[in-house]
Structure 1
Amino acid sequence: MRKTVVILLIISVICIAFAAIFVKLSEAPASIISMYRMMFASILLTPIVFKYRRELTKPTRREWGALIIAGLFLAMHFGFWFASLHLTSVASSTVILALQPIAAMVGAFLVYRERVSAKVAFSVFVSFFGVVIISWGDFSFTDLSAIAGNMLSFLGVITVVCYFMIGQNSVRNLTHWVYSFIVFGIAGFFLLIYNMATRTDLFMYPPKEWGLFLLLAIFPTIAHVIFNYLLNEVSPTTISMAMLLEPVGASILAFFLLSEHLDIYQIFGGIIVLFGVYFFLLSQRKRKYMES
């Protein structure tokens, strides 16, 4: 692997790791943070999408329906995850979020009846066991907020997997940029409706909050741009494995910037979860190699 590729992977992981920190630093409601994260990201993608503007007329009525549903699930994902970060630690929330590839495989089995090997079943069991350990450490009869935060993070996993499954199987004639532009905008619109329905203040926030909203859109968008560029250099599995470093990076940043300390349950449970996801991704790569 070339040195430039390694550097770009490191930059992208750091960009994603900062997302959780920005949410923690914000005092705005999770639905507001999520809304502006989506809206600003869609605006940032506009110059790139302008190049592919002809694609905006390609989706059929059925595909537009899928895009709307995908946008709804994406809005729910960010709403759940950002809310979880206000209740539980960065380490617990981001480690649970790393279960996405395993949850996607389980979803494919339930919906499309795709075969699940013994290795995949083992990785699911290991990862779930790690989540149980993390939640056990967060459990308290006097304060259940951390447990609620962990559950919200897990709901964030389920909704983002639904978002990916709907998009990947229903809309095939759009580039990643146009697809992201559309669903980001739709997600932002759904969150706008939610905030208006709940009478959540849309604008009266200090400059610090607006800066955090913008940073939340910029940093992950930079990571997405890098990941799309690196797909020409490395395999998607390599990128997926690099993303496993996000919980590690986010936890380190939280330690220095937010003074969050890791207890033994979070460390041990987090290692088990990441091992389970790593084992899953490794088995998937080997399976694809055998099939090719």
Structure 2
Amino acid sequence: MNKTLPPISPVIPLIIGMIAISFSPILVRYSDAPAAIQSMYRMLFTVLLMLPFGNKHIRMIRTITRRDWLLLSLAGFFLALHFLLWMESLSYTSIASSTIILALEPVFVMVGAYMVFKDRANKIAILGLVIALAGAFCVGFGDIGLSQTAFTGDVLSFLGTLAVAINMLIAKRILSRIPSYLYSLIVFTITFACFAVYNLALGTSLTNYPSTEWLFFLLLAIVPTVFGHMIFNWLLQYVKPTTISMSVLAEPVGASILGMIIFREMITDFQLVGGVFIMIGLLLYLKSEQRAQIRISDSKLSS
């Protein structure tokens, strides 16, 4: 794990990121465009928004090694796979079910972080993870697997969750050598290229969409991507990948509330109780991380 201390408390950007990603399923559901088209323009507009702010970092592209280019390409591919599978799942199952399955990401990341980085979690962190996942199961209990269509959406969301966990582990490995801005710019560009090839191969129309759809594409770039994924990429320089993954456990709560308000998808008692468990687990985990950061800071001061 990178021992560098962040310039501000990680809690603030984590909260901003959690709120931002909660709007992702809402915007996806509003759009009538295919998931691959939504994803492609989401990435394209994100890259265009980033370019004016990257003169200093873009010059560093020439210093990237072949090995790192391979890792960046894999990260872009798995991010594209995540967007394709998870966004498509929203066409088959409810917002609550899709985002609840997405909350399983910390399980994959914790196992992967231990295997790749020998990153051990303390007892409080593990307890928080267990409580949060119990809440995640509770939230989706009344909805997951009720029909063949819902089951198809559940499987797509599960596979998409596995893909984003792999993407995050790759990001953690490479962000020790490449600035988060440059990492995001390159990976988002590769993800856009993956979707462009995919859509062209399927013969999907690239431009025949009404103005409202283009607005949704832009909002997907600004809200959950710039204020969500980019903030999380930046935080990976300072905190464990499981910490970032734990933050997505708040997405089912925010997304379910928004789904209730906008789409009249009423929250059940199971989802309400589960949401409370999710927040308790998240707070326990973040508290353990904060203590770890304090210990690092104290050791630096005493050395």
Please tell me the TM-score bracket, short chain as reference: 0.7 to 0.9
CA distance in 2, matches of 1:109, 1:212: 38
1:189 is matched by which residue type in structure 2?
A
Please name the residue that 2:5 is paired with. none
Task: Provide the secondary structure at the position in 1 that maps to 2:204.
Answer: coil
Shift of residue 211 of structure 1?
1.5
Which is further off, 61-70 or 208-217? 208-217
1:8/1:173 CA distance change after superposition, 3 Å = closer
Q: Which residue of 1 aligns with 2:161?
A: 157
> What is aligned with 1:90?
95
User: What residue number does 1:254 align with?
Assistant: 259
| Residue 197 (1) aligns with residue 197 (2) | no
Distance 2:37 2:290 in 1: 38
| 2:137 aligned to which of 132, 138, 148 | 132
Q: Distance in 2 between matches of 1:8 and 1:41?
A: 19
- Which of 163, 174, 180 is residue 178 of structure 2 equivalent to? 174
Instruction: State the alpha-carbon separation in 1 of the partners of residues 284 and 157 from structure 2.
Output: 22
| TM-score (norm: length of structure 1) | 0.81
* Residues in 2 aligned to 1:47 and 1:63: alpha-carbon distance in whole angstroms: 24
List per-residue Cα deviations over 1:157-210 (Å, max 9, x = no partner).
322221121122135332211111110010111122222223333222222212
Change (3 A) 1:255 1:55: same
State the Cα deviation string for residues 121-179 of structure 1 (Å, max 9, x = none): 434433443343344311455x2333433343333332222112112213533221111
Superposed displacement of residue 71, structure 1: 0.4
Per the alignment, in what secondary structure is the counterpart of residue 141 of structure 2?
A: helix
CA contact (8 A) 1:38 1:184 kept: yes
Task: Go from structure 1 to structure 2 and tell me whether the alpha carbon gap of 1:25 and 1:183 turns closer, same or farther (over 3 Å shift).
Answer: same
Total equivalences in the alignment:
282
* Cross-structure match for 1:57: 62
Confirm or deny that 1:144 pairs with 2:138: no
Partners of 2:20 and 2:184 lie apart in 1 by 18
Q: TM-score, normalised by structure 2?
A: 0.78
2:76 aligned to 71, 74, 82, which one?
A: 71
Q: CA deviation at 1:104?
A: 1.9
Q: Contact 2:46 / 2:226 at 8 angstroms: preserved in 1?
A: no
Amino acid at match of 2:224: P
Superposition map of 1:204-223 within 5 A: 204-223=208-227
Aligned partners of 1:95 and 1:270 also within 8 Å: no
